[in-house]
Structure 1
Amino acid sequence: MHSHENTARLMPDVAHQAQPHLAGALDWVGMDGIEVPVRFDAGDGDVQRASAQVGAFVNLTRPDKRGIHMSRLYLLVDEHLSKRTLDAAMIEGLLGAFLESHKDLADRARISIRFDQLVRRAALRSANSGWRAYPVSIEASLGADGFRMELGTEVVYSSTCPASAALSRQLIQDQFAKDFAEDAALDRAAVLAWLGSEQGIVATPHAQRSVARLLVRFDKDAPVNLIALLDRVEQALGTPVQTAVKREDEQAFALANGGNLMFCEDAARRIQRALDADATIADFYVRLEHQESLHPHDAVAYASKGVPGGFGSGDCT
């Protein structure tokens, strides 16, 4: 009867069998869609556990080698991500372990991590609160040019069109002129009743659900504070979507929409100004999408920090 050691020796490993007719270095080789739990502190001290999808890769510098050791990458992902809290130092250490496990094959490593983070959000007026799930993506790489890491997320908000608001106000003025004769004395109670009626508010501006997709690179040694980033962007926009909503909250949201009329260009500049003011952010890239209720197409704007060679240097994506 064979021992375990003898059985292992008999197992074939065709990955070590060179194929000279297919020789060549490869940019990236690895696995995508690895399912693993992650632990993440969004910035409030509450370490949450989430189900993540992970991509783990190294380059293949040896043209004469058929493949990499994918099982090594998988086991390192499991060891680091399922047991330790996600932060820049841990991810840099994980990428270093990728390279150490492939020191004869690779000199660059990268990882992508995607999951949803639940954040508690207070209602606008009432004492209620509810959960919002924000998508989180982390992309990181390690090589001769050093360690780089980027955080991606999304903010969903309401945007009311300024042009539509102006046109609606004009129609309300026209209706007022029809209902109240120019030479008649105005009765305050009658005007108040008219303003509270459907007859008085004959037109409303169109609003739409909108999405700000953010990609941020933090300064070296700065904490990855997701909640601070979300707060800054949502406060700049003024109308993030809500969770628990009573009538007083809905009315407050209507008031916020009326006080935050914006084209997609306005929203992009608001976020640009807010992120520019954050000293912990080295670079950022934002895509704004207003999912039109008037048109079948969307209104879109892009903004970046403007760092030479940074996020905004490439084409729109």
Structure 2
Amino acid sequence: MTENLNMPTKMPDVATSAKAQVTGTLDWVGMSNIEMPMTIKADDGQARQISTRIEAFVNLAEPQAKGIHMSRLYLALDKLSLEQELTLQSLKALLDTFISSHDALSDRAHVSFAFDYHLRRPALLSGNHGWRNYPVVLTGRLDKGQLDLELKVDVAYSSTCPCSAALARQLIQDAFEAKFHGQQQIDLDTVHQWLGTTSGIVATPHSQRSIAEVKVKLNDALNELPILALVEAIENALKTPVQAAVKREDEQEFARLNGQNLMFVEDAARRLKHTLDQSESFNDFWLRVNHLESLHAHDAVAVDTKGVEGGYQPY
């Protein structure tokens, strides 16, 4: 009898037909480092394309099952990439799809999107604008019907050491005394000109680029993804975010802001904690401030949480 080579051959599906070699449930199974473009719409009102790095998981609740259907997770992400915008609403629907596509296998789902988010930020005085990049991680988790949404943003800022500023002021006082000691009357113009020289300002405090890492649990009632709101809350609390477009007047204002906002790492952390405590959009928060020291070879770090029972832990 001649074999019909045109007959379709049913392909084996080991994930559903085979049994586990060793039985047992697993907390998470899925994929990481998925590279995929997304169209995102956050609270700045602009839909834009981003390049994301994605992790997608479901649990394996059936101890006898060989495995999950990873292709179903990928295809759900691909559909989101091609047909929808990444919003809080579509993220919730995606988690539902992860679980419904694994009926009898899974009752928990997790997804995270890591990407760079660019915002147009105004210069301090000149009226110019420039792009600033903010690393973002958006995470969603659905656990037996309980939804958990998290937003993480990194914000760069400048921190000027209060101790260094005090020591610099003392040196300036000493230089002033040495210059004008013994003079009964001091001419204002002479002092004014002297203060504008390197002899007048003999020392400056040290400052360094610093990073605020902030994670917040989002209120379920939110309609918009609050990336801009979180960035502005952080920058307004710290007062010295790094700048994009800078003219001389902007640089001078930046120097003034640094001088008026001297910060140890503890000061920066407390500023952020006070600001985040006031927000009704965030149910919980975790923060870490990193001062990348210019004096020391090590970094100065402070970590804090809102202190919600069962919420974020410092580590």
Say which is worse superposed, 136-145 or 207-216, in terms of deviation.
136-145
Matched, 1:306 2:307: yes
Say which is worse superposed, 215-224 or 90-99, in terms of deviation.
215-224
How many Å separate the matches in 1 of 2:101 and 2:72? 7
Say which is worse superposed, 223-232 or 236-245, in terms of deviation.
223-232
Judge conservation of contact 2:76–2:97 (CA < 8 Å) in 1. yes
Q: Which residue of 2 aligns with 1:239?
A: 240
User: What percent identity do the matched residue pairs reach?
Assistant: 49
Judge conservation of contact 2:32–2:55 (CA < 8 Å) in 1. yes
Shift of 1:315: 4.0
Q: Which residue of 1 aligns with 2:32?
A: 32
The CA RMSD over aligned residues, in Å, is 1.5
* Matched letter for residue 68 of structure 1: I
User: CA offsets per residue over residues 191-249 of structure 1, 9 Å max, x none?
Assistant: 01110000111111000100000101121111321111111110111100000111111
1:258–1:152 Cα change, 3 Å:
same
Q: Which residue of 1 aligns with 2:252?
A: 251
Secondary structure, counterpart of 2:232 in structure 1: helix
Secondary structure, counterpart of 1:22 in structure 2: coil
Q: How does 1:1-317 map to 2 (within 5 A)?
A: 2-3=5-6, 6-7=8-9, 9=10, 11-16=11-16, 18=18, 21-144=21-144, 146-222=146-222, 223-311=224-312, 314-316=313-315
Shift of 1:36: 1.4
Gaps of 5+ in 1: none
Shift of 1:63: 1.8
* Matched letter for residue 247 of structure 2: K
1:145–1:308 Cα change, 3 Å:
farther
* Matched letter for residue 125 of structure 2: R
TM (norm. structure 1) is 0.94
* Matched letter for residue 134 of structure 1: Y
How many Å separate the matches in 2 of 1:127 and 1:121? 10
Report the number of matched residues: 311
How many Å separate the matches in 2 of 1:49 and 1:2? 46
Shift of 1:87: 2.0
Secondary structure, counterpart of 1:6 in structure 2: coil
How many Å separate the matches in 1 of 2:22 and 2:174? 76
User: CA offsets per residue over residues 273-295 of structure 1, 9 Å max, x none?
Assistant: 11111121111111000011110
Shift of 1:66: 1.2
1:212–1:82 Cα change, 3 Å:
farther
Shift of 1:32: 0.7
Shift of 1:83: 2.4
How many Å separate the matches in 2 of 1:150 and 1:280? 11
Shift of 1:88: 2.0
User: CA offsets per residue over residues 62-112 of structure 1, 9 Å max, x none?
Assistant: 221111111111001111244212222211111111111101211111101
* Matched letter for residue 175 of structure 1: A
Judge conservation of contact 2:38–2:81 (CA < 8 Å) in 1. yes
* Matched letter for residue 239 of structure 2: G
TM (norm. structure 2) is 0.95
Judge conservation of contact 1:36–1:82 (CA < 8 Å) in 2. no
